[in-house]
Structure 1
């Protein structure tokens, strides 16, 4: 419901006649559910004491109490996850035998402003933080988070955190800021300054985007306080609303959006032209971290199709966050329906009194006498997942307006608001459409209410509603830019210069080779594309001689290796990093020119488009290869802020318990079925089949395979399960770095799991999927009386109604996390559908040796791509890891491979059994 759902600009209020002009077309309460939008009464300011009666006494209104409890109990966790300092929890570098703490590491202060951090003790404090709440909110809730934020900092002369309360109602800002000063001023002093922003969502977001929040704060401090009249205070843009008489806590009147200064984005009147654009908006120019708060499930008052575009419009940069309160769909049963309905119409009548007071205000604004001819009613629409609030006419009546009279029949409904509820699947879909990544979430124990902490992902890939499209056409220039941003983040941000000439894995080249290999590969293919127009390699041309092809030697005998480029043997003979980056930039510019030519009317042939497709996926695959190499080095820099492992682990444990109780865990029976491996995409058919999805030679042709019944583990083997097995067979005393999985490391005598952030203790990573060789996982499976699945069996499992989905809504792919996560089985969603499980973010081994499908044709564009590995030692792996780009992970025909005894790739496995 939310208080701001009943606030409106006075000028919008005076147009109420246009909002109720066609009341005769309203749907009656007893009618069938309809998706038709009801004409609305604009939301009105009501006596705040009535609303306080709901939050203070109507315990059935669980949204308020549950959100309050979550903020009260988890405020410090939320503050840490938002990136605020952990000064009082850890001020010193912990011992880290495998990956020692370095200057600027998270553990020594890069992210927590510790004394050893590269930014110094006060860098973050001097820069400060901005917290913007959309809607002034309820003091009792917001204060708990603000005090948690304040607790992360020592007091200073100038508070480093500024809390900006954005609201349309000036009196509400006055009330909230005044009570904040009175009740919490001492706790916030020197840490958090509170400022009011008087305006609507559009105006507030525009100010944030402009980077002028700090300017508004300074101007309000310098202004002379004045108290607006009640009439003036109701309208944004009032010249009297520049300041409030609340010491150190000021309200700034925001400029109105041209043409829309009298509308709130939350109004129920038609706002198609006033809402924020659906496209992503530019980030603010200030370098202060920014954190939005949007609590009270106020997003539920948006139509579903409008929610994601609004969230996407928020000007968030990397490191900024959004704390979103969102109510979930209740269980799809009578009890769930009842819980929602009494929450919005409590037995004691607090909600009814509040809502019906709004009708009295509306009549007064319309110049009508008080009348009791309506009553408040509500219902929960299970099909649409929303609570619907209405005024119902108690008799046939006429409402006289200035332009026309409105006839209401007895029982006729007048729409107040809809409050949409979001199932887990609906919420995750919305976040994906809004280009937001889930950092963490906190769920109320007795309802589906959640606090979601969201951020713009550091690595972003364009969402594709039509997954079949991702490989069917030429990669867009935006997709190239996203991939290049990822590549540069890895190569220039995570590899220190002293590591460039090192081999984290002996079976691979030095790191510097890959920095040159990627642009060289792209340049070679562009040269082939443009040969008919005298295309020449980018300077220096000799790069193609040393960087064209890497190595994949035999693990047992590294001298056995396929054809590859001859690389320099001495460090001084390699090109410099500067030479390579200049070459990279020239190659990228060459590609941009090709795309620019297509805008000028030049059509790319399918051969040319396939060449660029290959170069794109080649770079994406090498990004993952380079990352699993970097995992093996203690010098690798962390990719992002270190996750809050202990908090995440606690949440994972709760999720696992719920999934085990309500999901399809354990063993799944897979019936006899037919699956199709691969797809049809022969290079030789390019001239006649422009509609074929692009792929690699190993994916062609589409091949139907009959699969016999079998049984399969719903989840892959975890680190904890493998560790217990090692103990059970008595192999623990002899376990060392050579015999343990390469993803493990011993720290202080205890086994831990390597991550790009350093070693993670086994009590946290035990629930993650084991990343190991096929040989290691096959031995474990055999000890359980099972085996690894064949390629066809794994595909059949992934098509099972209750099976996992390697690239589904919950899957850990495309850098949704920079580490594995606990796998989950499929569960029944509260919307009624199946929310499919995932494997935690790893490829999966099969027991199928790599070979071409019947009718295989070796690529002419990339000779040896797959044929060099038909040796009986390489096995098919399927799916994708947390570092696999969505384009690859979502293409069901994609077939990857590694040698069965190769220990370093991010591949897991599950046990299957003969039926």
Structure 2
């Protein structure tokens, strides 16, 4: 029985085209919003019961109840930031469901929110929360004057951000539901899988030649559709002639890699990839089903579950199709002959039993022989286990894709981002001409996206483009060789400061082109999405190679070392095999905050905050704040410092305040602060320069700093954050003193009014931002109490003149 109780609107199984933000009406926006809210909720009707909402389909992700509520939470938070919503719906929910998980490694330990000890709210309350949010946004759209075009500076951008974020999680949730035990899901009404084949088996995947050319990519700032920050900017490369496979790599092709021991041969894998393969004990792609009890990757109480069991080859697991409440839903398509798997004949279309012969005769895998039934594998789709559709593209992570290419031959690889933009063909047109240049706006886009089907489709189902390539858009995302990074000219949007920038760390791969589950602008020609290389999405790849003598294709790799809180520094591997015809273009992370994660910056911060025992800057700043709090009659119970560095000021504030929260984005600073909290002392082997007038006391060339004896260290809590979230509680003092070193200052001060008590104060110390720069935003919620010069010092003891502004909430 489908779970209709999760619907706060209509049941829906397909998406809709995005909006032209230069000409849309309020009724268009309302319809677009309702459709996204409906479609996301409709996915969850495929869970069999309420208990499934509290299970972790992936040990590195949260239970499904989080994803059901998360998008509504983000909607509220962004509309509050933009000033379009002035009252919250449910602050507890908007805190609990605000931030998800982006783990650093495949073997991360499950945190308490994943492992089951966290008490999530009942489903009924969560559904009601979504209903309230939906009604608020409906009314907001109806009541707010609309001025066109909607641009990044418009408050309506927050509405579009919420809608497009909802569409991102339609894809995220579909991946996670696909990972759930089959016994916990049921096929919802009208859910239609693609046919397994067009009638002609894809036994060849020829390489097509693409002539070298200059290519420029990136979304123009004035393009009239919603865009994420990572899409904007521009990059130009000269790309030599190359070849790429006509189709994405199919299940049939990938089977040969599996059968010939690709998962057992470490020589095909990168070091990171092989470590992942061993940890996961992977024998085949995650959604392939065999009989050997393979490790599933589920988390918490279902961590022992395996998708690979013999009964999946003898039992049908889908339930009968049913009508769904009063939404006038007829039974889903299912199989055309009454089968549960949606295939034309309910059987596999055959499999190759030949061996790989490399790229002979201009193909990536030669011609496979035979069309016999292959019983070893079936395929897990969203709600069913079906006969293996060999002509569908294979779903793999980056590691598996790269290993397959190495198995094909030493010269094979995936496409680069520049090459992907070249195979899009010439039919798109000039982006300056408007939305007609983007295929997501075409009336008949001839691609499998927007949930036309609830699954991948045969790689030859849709026609090739003018260059001969199929599925450049949709069906599956394509992994490319480049690291995920911002384009030149990248700017973070103040409404979503951490949408992409934390992922510019050389550990996130880049995916392009969208998938069958991509909706709205997610399938745009400009879409760029980054995920950990071990993550599973609806993603595949196609094979490419550089032609001999043509030169090397540029591939962008991030060369900024990133320090991970609790893990330290991991070296980046910026090498590629000589044989694959790639030239690494090393580029700094466009997240400028990562550039502070160096030993030199740490030494300077220690010197600044603890030089001369911390009696200068840290004590002086803490004393200044306490003086102002006393002057304005503020309580002295709790405080938060946004920009705590290595904790020097926080430890001084803890002499007065009973609770102090120190927040910073810099992991290396926070590691030092936490070590000081645990031990009272921090030693660092890199000495400060002898020219440093404020260096801490040294012993044998080692920096040593200590916490003052009169500090109660248990009064402090340190948090790593990239902007101010809801989990910062209301406090009597907010000290904001790092605006001069953050990438997006506005993202930090927009939320200050929600984290200070009615009787508290906000103290802002900055060389760049005084009352004139802050007033446009802060005056909406605060009264300015005073502004005065404040003398800071740098790590060399040289004076710096800043401005101190003191603010109090309007009553």
Q: TM-score, normalised by structure 1?
A: 0.43
Larger Cα-atom Rg:
1
